[in-house]
Amino acid sequence: RWLAGIFQYTKKLFLSKQVGRAQALESVRKNAANALSMANLIMGLSSILCSLNRHYQHSCWLLLGGFLLDLADGAVARQLNACSALGAKMDDFADFTSFGLATALLLQTQGVLDGLLAIAYVLAVFARLCFFSSEIPFTYRGLPCPYASSLLVSIFLLTGGNVMLLRVAAIVMILFMVDRGFYPHDKVLESQLWKKVIYAGGILAVLLLPTTVTSIYYLAWSASYIFSPFAIWSCKA
């Protein structure tokens, strides 16, 4: 009897461990994309703190990291079948923080007109995230704000923070974001191999390449999507 009891206890312990492991894996599956969104949010908040302390170079690198995370979190959610209303809200809030507030601070506002431009940029991102939806699969209305942010960051790094160029670029990006024209969902990590190679190159550029080369890389990447969205980036996955 005591042998049977030990056997039953061992069996229950083994099964409980299996159930616990399965629950842990399911929790990881459901929250993997949310973790990427949270990391993007942390990048954005850190970028804001850097800009407030005039460490704009650090702020730019954090925003490029957020750009890569933003491209990844949607792909992870879809691949793991873990899309949720909470995850979508978290992703939008992270995008607003990183590509709205944190990016607008790169404009280095010094007066009323500068402040109005920064406010207009933030409101354009807010409108793009909250009010511009498309009924056509795999398309956006208006320019996705991560690409606008990537373009501004690249210009900042290449020019050493030339305020005039940044403000002109910001005005152009505002017009692109509030325009209701269509942009394709690039689906970088779920599409053709060359898009995945570009994404991998973006990671290597941030980690290994000089600032100038990285800036040119991201400028070409974002500009190609902004100005030739369907000719180059139309998704055929």
* CATH, residue 203: 1.20.120
Q: For 110-151, how does the pLDDT look when each residue is reduced to its tens digit (9 = 90+)?
A: 889 999 999 999 999 999 998 887 766 668 888 999 999 999
**Domain membership of residue 154 as a residue range:** 1-233
Tens digit of pLDDT for each residue in 63-99? 999 999 999 988 887 777 766 777 778 889 999 999 9
Q: pTM of the prediction?
A: 0.86
37 neighbors 94 (Cβ within 8 angstroms): yes
**Domains held by the chain: number:** 1
The 3-state DSSP class for residue 192 equals coil
Q: Taking Cα atoms as reference points, which of 131, 147, 213 lies closest to residue 184?
A: 147
The whole-angstrom separation of Cα 58 and Cα 36 is 20
Rounded Cα distance between 140 and 185, Å, is 7
